[in-house]
Chain A
Amino acid sequence: MVKLQINGKTVEAREGEMLLAVIKRQGIEVPTQCHHEAIEPTGNCRLCMVEITKKNWDGWKKSVTSCLYPVEEGLIVETHNDKLFEIRKTILDLQLARSPHSDYVRKMALDYGLEKSSYPVEPDGDDCIMCYACTRICEVLGKSAISPTQRGHQKVIAGPFGEAPPDCIGCLSCAHICPTDHIKWNDKGQTRTIWDKSFELIACSKCGKKTITREFADYLIEKRELPANYFEICDDCKRQETAEKIGSLVVRAREATI
């Protein structure tokens, strides 16, 4: 265990743990955008920055992203002060210019008293805040179908060469993890569309309800070594089947006792 000080209070943390986890455990609110428990931190949004110092640093302070900074014995951490407020406010101010239509960004900016951006707003700006949550979850799933492409302000998340990603299996993990709901998708009849790519949806052989894409099913069957017919029946029908089975067993048992 490691002992450190957060906002004046001494706390304990496991070795190798990141500062942000310890801060959150204390019930302290630090804004984040790109952080998600399911994926590795990358430090894109910079909102979780805190100031650290140590007793022997002669008062020198360093701003670090708490999501990436491993705890250290004797660390003195400050999560809120004027400088950090200014950093967070400026970042949100910049995002407000880039993604003026995003409710997510607008709400966060409002917490910092920003009703409109101090910078020239891009009326056509999209809602992508470049947090990489989508590409990271795709990587965790083992597909890495999409990735950040281009540089700087031109950067976009896309498939290889800006085309429909060949490795995408239509699992929707990216769309679900996206904090700003920027990744659009839809299910129409038998077809799911995402990233300019169409997928066939599996229909439950019992009730006919559409479940997941054929590609996603094949991928899971292979990866988890599931029976080949595992996805033929939907979860609801499976549950019903099981209930019926248990029900009939109960009935049989009761009949036997009588």
Chain B
Amino acid sequence: MKIDSIRKLNKWRREIRTQQKAIKTRVLICLGPGCLAGGSDLILKEFRTILKKKKIKNISVASIKKTGCHGFCARGPLVIIEPQGIFYSKVKKIHVAEIIEKTLQRGEIIEKLLYKDPDTEKIYKEWRKIPFYARQQKIALRNVGQIDPDEITDYIANGGYSALAKILKGMKPEEVIEQVSASGLRGRGGAGFSTGRKWATCARAEDEPRYVLCNGDEGDPGAFMDRCIMEGDPHTVLEGMIICAYAVGSKEGYIYVREEYPLAVVNLQKAIDDARRFGLLGDNILGSDLCFDIEISKGGGAFVCGESSALMKSVAGEIGEPRAKYVRSVLKGLHDKPTVLNNVESYANIPVIIEKGADWFASIGTKKSAGTKAFSLAGKIRNTGLIEVPMGITLREIIYDIGGGINDNREFKAVQTGGPSGGCLPADKLDLDVDFDTLTENGSMMGSGGMVVMDDRTCMVDVSRYFLNFLVEESCGKCVPCREGLYQLHKLNEKVCKGKAGDDDLKLMENLSRTIMSSSLCGLGQSGPNPFLSTIMYFRDEYEAHVNEQKCPGGVCKDLITYRINDDCDGCMACLKVCAADAITGKKNEKHVIDEIKCDRCGACYAVCNINAIDII
């Protein structure tokens, strides 16, 4: 069935909505990456198997829906029952029969599966009321976790493709660009360049053809926002790109997805196929003059291919290395033609901006950073997961109100924003507003939205070493400062971790960092020393402890620490059993001893001891 007019689209939408209204209860099963790892696909299967066998009034297999990431990964696998919004967390396959019997059949709530706030002990029945969700505002993620990504009908029922219909019906390309500009939307990939300005420059370029590209090469460790959008709501990415194509006059688009996201590739491909089948992609979209098609281009997982010029080379089938962008890629991009490249999340915002208007979007967030931003919370935070919050919210609100604070009630030490080339901010920066400019001013950056929280057991010198190592491995190796500079910087950082560095090494590292930043070819190198610079800016005392006292205050750097059993030891033998180096001796119910020479400082004993009888010195 081709939907070749806006009237037909609207009629179809009404039909879908009528059909969906007939299904009173919907059971949403999160199949996001976290829940999937927890076995939510088995839960889905179990629901379907039982419901096929058992006839239950008002509930059919059609009530069971798989969705993308619902967000609260720490509590997964998640099962949500709408319209009541009942939130079941940490669901296992064995709970399915009980949920069907009690909740679906009799309307009873199963209390043990509800979320209980560990601090207040308050039990929440409805997901919207849980603090984790209550402070969020979802625009880009509006459908993620709410719809079945495989069903184009779900997207359309939720208002999908109505923004496209709106522009085709009565907006000129210039007006679309005007709206996007006026909304204040800035690139969600991290650089924060005005999306509207980018589109306007491309539309003005005289050369043809023009290309529309989507950057789905999310590579920051701990970041999974784009992944969840591509997996959970692929049509919103397509709609955003089609609107962009209309605005800049393009006929051809590519979505660059890393191959490590196989589900994103499958779901996007399904969405593209469906969109083509119904006439939402291809020639004469919705019966208009607009002709635009999208293809998926799979990346091999090189971090540097998230950089615009490297990405375009990779799409063109060349070696994914950046080039100097003195002529910007918006004018000379893919195949040296004008190209708009936006991040997944940027595109996901577009349909909403068109529908609700630029003023509405600009009223959210701050003056210079409008709208919301998706973040993935990772690290030592209690509520790990995927969130979307208005710009201008403080780090404290994100980490404590939404994130629930630090695991095991330990002390907060730092939060890393902006991915490996971002920076680590200390506790006294927790009240900073989260927006593009404030984060940059404070030595970090917005980046694509990864947020890694660290507690007091983290060594910041080791954190710097870890991220530098990542960048050394991911540097493309084309230019000298990035290839050799980051390599040497990492080696010097390792020397600090081993307690073998002196003050002059720190000075050398700082000088080297300056040169790498000012002379590298692309953004990877230019921001490469950030892990070191931001940690030494805020945690110089830790570096000095490594250099001057050969001590690791975080108790992490193996060469500088010793594990010792204190008098609290009750001789439970747990540590003795886990020690792979056979370094622990002792009898049951008697204090154990660690042989410091044999000990390889793996930390297994420390992790297993329940009574804090092991000290790190």
CA distance A95 to B323 in the complex (A): 21
Contact of B480 among A44, A63, A68, A118 (CB under 8 A): A44
Task: Determine how close the nearest CB of chain A comes to the CB of B5; give it in whole angstroms.
Answer: 48
Q: Are A90 and B515 also in contact (CB < 8 A) when A68-B326, A119-B488, A153-B484 are?
A: yes
Residue B579 CB within 8 A of the other chain: no
A87-B515, A119-B488, A152-B487 known; A130 vs B326 contact (CB < 8 Å): no
Judged by a CB distance under 8 angstroms, whether A94 is at the interface is yes
* A43 and B483 contact, CB distance less than 8 A: no
Which of B324, B475, B484 has the most CB atoms of chain A within a 10 A radius of its CB?
B484
A131, B326: Cα distance in complex, Å: 20
Whether B326 and A94, one on each chain, are in contact in the complex, defined by CB atoms closer than 8 angstroms, is: no
Within 8 A of B (CB), among A88-135: 90-91, 94-95, 97-98, 118-120, 129-130, 132
Indicate whether B521 reaches chain A with its CB closer than 8 angstroms.
Answer: yes
In angstroms, Cα B320 to Cα A148, docked, is: 11
User: What residues on A are CB-neighbors of B519 within 8 Å?
Assistant: 46, 49, 63, 87, 90-91
Tell me if B59 counts as interface (CB < 8 A to partner A).
no
A87–B518 touching, CB < 8 Å = yes
Q: Which residue of B lies closest to A135 (CB)?
A: B319
What's the least CB distance linking B465 to chain A, in Å? 16
The complex places the Cα of A217 from the Cα of B146 at a distance, in Å, of: 66
Q: How far is the CA of A255 from the CA of B14 in the complex (A)?
A: 106
In the bound complex, do residue A43 and residue B491 qualify as a contact, i.e. CB atoms below 8 Å apart? no
What is the bound-complex CA distance between A150 and B520, given in angstroms? 19
Q: Are B477 and A147 in contact (CB under 8 A)?
A: no
Whether A252 sits at the interface, judged by CB under 8 Å, is no
**Which chain B residues border A155 with CB–CB below 8 Å?**
476-478, 483
Chain B residue contacts of A42, Cβ below 8 A:
323, 478
Q: Which residue of B lies closest to A45 (CB)?
A: B480
Asked if A46 and B326 sit within 8 Å, CB to CB, the answer is no
Question: B430 contacts the other chain (Cβ, under 8 Å)?
Answer: no
Query: CB-CB < 8 A to A148: which residues of B?
Result: 319, 321, 477-478
Residues of chain B lying within 8 A (CB to CB) of residue A151: 302, 304, 473-477
Nearest CB on A from B55, distance (A): 58
A86 at interface, CB cutoff 8 A: yes
Contact yes or no, A64 B512, CB < 8 A? no
Docked CA distance A38–B354 (Å) = 50
Interface size on B, residues (CB 8 A): 35
Chain A residues closer than 8 Å to B479, beta-carbon distance = 43-46
Note all chain A residues with C-beta closer than 8 A to B476: 151-152, 155
Report the Cα distance A154→B487, complex, angstroms. Answer: 10
Query: Is A219 at the interface (CB under 8 A from chain B)?
Result: no
Q: Which of B475, B487, B491 has the most chain A CB atoms inside 10 A of its CB?
A: B487
Residues of B contacting A: mostly: helix
Cα distance, A87 to B514, chains bound together (Å): 9
B120 within 8 A of A: no
Q: Does A176 contact B (CB under 8 A)?
A: no
Complex interface residues of chain B between 473 and 499 (CB less than 8 A to chain A): 473-481, 483-488, 491-492
Considering only residues 570-594 of chain B, those with a C-beta below 8 Å from chain A are: none
User: Least Cβ distance of A89 to chain B in Å?
Assistant: 9
Chain B 60-85 interface 0/1 with A at a Cβ cutoff of 8 Å (1 = within): 00000000000000000000000000
Q: Is B508 an interface residue (CB 8 A)?
A: yes
- Asked if A239 lies at the interface with its beta carbon under 8 angstroms from chain B, I say no
On A, residues with C-beta under 8 Å from B are: 42-46, 49, 63-65, 68-70, 83, 86-87, 90-91, 94-95, 97-98, 118-120, 129-130, 132, 147-148, 150-155
- What are 7 A-B pairs with beta-carbon distances under 8 A? A63-B518, A64-B324, A94-B480, A118-B508, A130-B483, A147-B319, A155-B476
Besides A43-B479, A119-B492, 19 new A-B residue pairs in contact (Cβ under 8 A), listed by A number: A45-B480, A63-B519, A64-B324, A65-B521, A68-B324, A68-B326, A70-B326, A94-B481, A94-B488, A119-B488, A119-B508, A130-B477, A148-B478, A151-B302, A151-B476, A152-B476, A153-B484, A155-B476, A155-B483
Closest 9 A-B residue pairs measured CB to CB?
A155-B477, A94-B484, A90-B515, A152-B475, A68-B324, A152-B477, A153-B487, A119-B488, A46-B519
